[in-house]
Amino acid sequence: MNVKREVPIQSVTVNDPFWSKFQNLVTDVVIPYQEKILGDDIPGVEKSHALANFAIAAGQQEGEFYGMVFQDSDVAKWLEAAAYSLAIKPDVKLEKRVDDIIETIGKAQADDGYLNTYFTIKEPEHRWQNLQECHELYCAGHMMEAAVAYYETSGKDRLLKIMEKMADHIDARFGPDKETGVPGHQEVEIGLMRMYWATGKEKYKKLAQFFIDQRGQDPEYFAKEAEKRGWTHFGMNPVDQKYSQIHAPVREQTTAEGHSVRAVYMYTAMASLAAELDDPSLKKACQVIWENITNKRMYITGGIGSTVQGEAFTIDYDLPNDTVYAETCASVGLIFFARKMLDMDVSNRYADVMELALYNGVLSGMQLDGKRFFYVNPLEVNPGISGKLHNHEHVLPERPGWYACACCPPNVARLLTSLAKYAWGEDEQTIYSHLYLGGTAELNKADVSVVSNYPWEGNIKYTVSPKQEESFALAIRIPGWVKEVDISLNGEKLGKDVMKNGYMYIQRVWQADDVVDLTMELPIRKIYANTAVREDAGQVSIMRGPIVYAFEGVDNGEQLQALRIRKDGNIQVSKEDKNLLENMRVLEVEGLRVKTSQKLYSETRPTSEPLMLTAIPYFTWGNRGLNQMRVWMYEES
């Protein structure tokens, strides 16, 4: 089996007309803004107190714990984002602040390795008694990820040593012939795998495997735990087995169930282990779950989780647009899952979904100024209803500055600063280009530079400079929606016989400055949902390349529900809109406005008048004030 190597962040320099803007936004605005939020330095937004919690636990200041029981995870995700940011753009002052925070975290750690500010400050007598609700393992997993990220990007191991001590504490408590232990919110499994890769210590991989293998062996685990402890934190239902994915052993689960973020974090760890262990049964389980999500339980934007009740998956084809949940973290987790599936089996069916969620489900979670964020990512918003009426309270029509449960904002930051991991892959025989990320990548076999204006244009140029004379392949993903593609090597067109699972494999002994040109059309496409999706019957959505488009009231007037897209009407790229985003392509769509009687009900048939509609990329909606938005529109002759 070829070993897939994760490409280090620091080996990739991003120079991309699209993504550089977002990475610079994160490094220059988002990370400093979120640091101030975590330090309670910005008035008028939801209080965090997360940094103060660590200082209190460390004995550096007086006070009480404040926030969610998993408040530590906000700091962990911010630290991970900061680690990647420092690799992109060195900043001595930021690095010093990161080091100071890490020192405080070290002082907050108990002598036995335990690290969690809630229980250290507030309820030390209840440590490890409530795995279902209290997220000790979840917080540990995120801090492990931060520790590995900072070690890999800076070479500093202070936080890594802290988290090795915590991992050893967990390992001493849970495992075969110890306490059973089922994480209430999966994440520690991902953290342990990253600790294993960073340290080479097999016990961390084995502990991750234990947590995965143990899950669902006793579906009544949380009910028994609740009865034993006799107290509750959130009042979660301990007998709702699907919510926490403990209803069956992971290899027997065939549908995506329960809390969507917990689920995709678990599937990410399962795919990591399946690839690492070359475990066919675990691989099969991942593939079955993947097919269920992407073919029956995923929004066109790459959003997952269709109900606010439990922030969860529901049933096949239940994908409401105006009461959707589609948490930003869930799309981030879907990207994690997709990336690990690519380690098992390189195929554009995984990379296409990874790209879809990245450009739509994740980017929509952040305002273009980097200072406001969505938790929920709806596909239809109606001011006066959304955020107000019963069952719509969670669907906010405008992004808030922060949340009491602020898991999403730092999750977006750590993803966007680590794009290199998702754009590139490498094994012993092949370099993989999963995303068209402009810039340079210093890989083991070659340095590769990419010139790209994707997603607005479909011309990508690769220049390959091998490091030694040997034969290897450059495998470039061709998206499944592409109908026409030309690829040439040093000006000579290549045939389609080198295509495998949606990747174009170019095998050769490479010469210095070999050039591969990829040219693909980015047609405007009308997308129709399966008729089993009752909310989308008779409607159509529009995509161009990987971008889903949306209609806003600010462009198209009131009552978007009265607008129709003409079945045989023309849709064209109208202009580059520099007001929202440089180079952004706006679409002009031939449509109709339906006009009816002013009465509530009437026997008079509605009439219609033609008009041109404007569609903007979905991820940019909500940046021009309060107004309606729709992704799915009715179609009419």
| Catalytic residue list | 311, 407
How many angstroms separate the CA atoms of 535 and 528, rounded?
12
476: β partners: 433, 504
Which of 402, 483, 324 has its CA nearest to residue 44?
Answer: 402
Element (H, E) at 555: helix 553-556
How many angstroms separate the CA atoms of 52 and 218, rounded?
38
Asked if residues 81 and 408 have their Cβ atoms less than 8 Å apart, the reply is no
Torsion angle of C-alpha atoms 540, 541, 544, 548, degrees rounded to 10:
-170
For residue 554, the SS3 value is helix
How many angstroms separate the CA atoms of 90 and 70, rounded?
30
| Sheet of 471-477, strands arranged across | 424-426, 430-433, 471-477, 503-509, 499-500
How many angstroms separate the CA atoms of 278 and 288, rounded?
17
Q: 433: alpha, beta or left, given left = phi > 0 and alpha = psi -120 to 50?
A: beta
Rg of the chain on CA atoms, in Å: 25
Q: Which residues contact 92 (CB under 8 A, 6 or more apart)?
A: none
Asked if residues 494 and 543 have their Cβ atoms less than 8 Å apart, the reply is no
DSSP E strand stretches across 455-606: 459-466, 471-477, 485-489, 492-493, 499-500, 503-509, 514-520, 524-527, 539-544, 547-552, 563-566, 571-577, 584-595
How many angstroms separate the CA atoms of 362 and 353, rounded?
12
